């Protein structure tokens, strides 16, 4: 099901200003994930990762309960206090972990419940879609931001396997695979394909998908408050050797309020650490 929502005049303007979807489509890649020492805002609400969590070496997670080496666990016991556990492998699970070691299964997965959230959109088409659970949570997140006087836009949501393939192959054709891997996730390896993740903008675009976005009100507010609505900043500052991606203050991932709050309280920066999975700095 889809919401048949006519974009507001402002979102049309934003859409035009953003040059439609390609800006967001090509973004959220390592080319735009260049870390900048000045782009790291101090913690504003959320605990900072503990020193053991802030490692930048490519060692496996030091979190407790490492998975069996033979296969990833289907469920994780991150704290023993959460009321519900979810699969880490099923792409319809809010805890599915997709990184450079863990492609989607099936590789061409399509969320069965894509909808367009009722939020300020900076994109159209598939990129304006999220799975229904994430869309509902995003509406609460965006409304709370607006109540705090913070403008937040949906800059890039769902991205199909086919779109990711076209994007990735375009890089391979022009730059070769090694360079392509620094510029685009391989098809089947993008969290955007799950429907559980999206990128935010601030309606202005000056720092869209750039390190300086970390200092914009939308990113500052999201970093401090997103967990209350079930989201984590998926690729935190200086944890790229664990996540495989440089800091993306715009990329939010839904895991549910309980788990996101637990992560925030415990100061755990990455889903890999939280769920006791190995670091995924690059493709095997
Ligand atoms: Zn993203």
Mean pLDDT of 231-237: 97
CA neighbor of 252 nearest in space, from 46, 70, 102: 46
- Token pair in block for residue 72: 């990833």
| Residue 76 pLDDT | 57
What is the sign of the dihedral through the CA atoms of 215, 134, 101 and 47? positive
What confidence score (pLDDT) does residue 69 get?
42
Measure the CA–CA gap between 164 and 253, rounded to whole angstroms.
Answer: 18
Per-residue pLDDT, averaged over 170-197, amounts to 93
What domains are there in the chain, each with its CATH number? 9-274 (3.30.1380.10)
Residue 243 near residue 234, CB atoms below 8 Å:
yes
- CA of residue 231 to ligand 1 center, whole Å: 13
**Sorting pLDDT into bands at 50, 70 and 90, what band is 111?**
very high
- Measure 28 CA to ligand 1 centroid, in angstroms: 5
Mind listing the pLDDT tens digit for each residue in 26-84?
Answer: 334 433 333 332 333 333 333 333 333 333 333 333 334 434 444 444 455 565 678 99
Distance 193 CA to ligand 1 centre (A): 10
User: Which pair of structure tokens corresponds to residue 101?
Assistant: 């070691």
Which pLDDT score is estimated for 47?
36
Side-chain-side CA neighbours of residue 229 (13 Å): 22
CA of 230 to the centre of ligand 1 (A): 16
d(CA 163, CA 257): 30
Task: Record the tokens describing residue 223, joined without a space.
Answer: 């970093």
How far apart are the CA of 224 and the centre of ligand 1, in A?
A: 18
Answer for the pair 130, 117: CB distance below 8 angstroms, yes or no.
yes
Would you say how long the chain is, in residues? 284
CA–CA gap between residue 183 and residue 87 (Å, rounded): 29
Taking the C-alpha atoms of residue 9 and residue 173, their distance in angstroms, rounded to an integer, is: 38
Map tokens 């675009």 to a residue.
Answer: 205
Distance 184 CA to ligand 1 centre (A): 11
Residues 115-170 have pLDDT tens digits of 999 999 999 999 999 999 999 999 999 999 999 999 999 999 999 999 999 999 99
Is residue 139 within 8 Å of residue 119, measured between CB atoms? yes
**CA atoms of 153 and 265, how far apart (whole Å):** 27
- How many angstroms does the Cα of residue 76 sit away from the middle of ligand 1? 24
Q: State in Å: Cα 157 to ligand 1 middle.
A: 8
Give the N- to C-terminal CA distance of the chain in Å, as an integer: 37
How large a percentage of the chain has pLDDT more than 90? 67
**Alpha-carbon distance 86 to 77, whole Å?**
9
Distance 7 CA to ligand 1 centre (A): 22
CA–centroid distance, 105 to ligand 1, in Å, is 19
């Amino acid at each position: 099901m889809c919401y048949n929502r006519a974009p507001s005049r402002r979102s049309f303007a934003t859409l035009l200003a953003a040059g439609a979807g390609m800006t967001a489509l090509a973004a959220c890649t390592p080319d735009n994930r260049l870390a900048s020492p000045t782009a790291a805002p101090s913690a504003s609400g959320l605990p900072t990762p503990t020193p053991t969590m802030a490692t930048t070496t490519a060692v496996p997670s030091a979190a407790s309960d490492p998975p069996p080496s033979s296969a990833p666990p289907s469920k994780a016991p991150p704290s023993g206090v959460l009321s519900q556990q979810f699969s880490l492998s099923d792409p319809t699970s809010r805890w599915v972990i997709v990184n450079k070691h863990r492609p989607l299964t099936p590789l061409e997965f399509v969320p069965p419940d894509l909808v367009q959230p009722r939020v300020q959109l900076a994109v159209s088409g598939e990129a304006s879609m999220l799975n229904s659970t994430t869309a509902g949570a995003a509406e609460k997140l965006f409304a709370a931001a607006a109540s705090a006087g913070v403008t937040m836009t949906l800059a890039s949501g769902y991205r199909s396997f086919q779109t990711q393939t076209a994007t990735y192959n375009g890089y391979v054709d022009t730059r070769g695979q090694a360079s392509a891997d620094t510029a685009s996730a391989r098809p089947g390896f993008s969290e955007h394909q799950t429907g559980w993740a999206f990128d935010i903008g601030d309606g202005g675009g000056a720092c869209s998908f750039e390190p300086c976005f970390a200092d914009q009100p939308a990113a500052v507010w999201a970093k401090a408050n997103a967990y209350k609505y079930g989201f984590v900043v998926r690729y935190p500052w200086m944890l790229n050797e664990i996540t495989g991606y440089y800091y993306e203050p715009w990329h939010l991932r839904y895991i549910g309020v309980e788990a996101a709050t637990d992560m925030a309280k415990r100061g755990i920066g990455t889903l890999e650490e939280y769920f006791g999975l190995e670091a995924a700095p690059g493709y095997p």
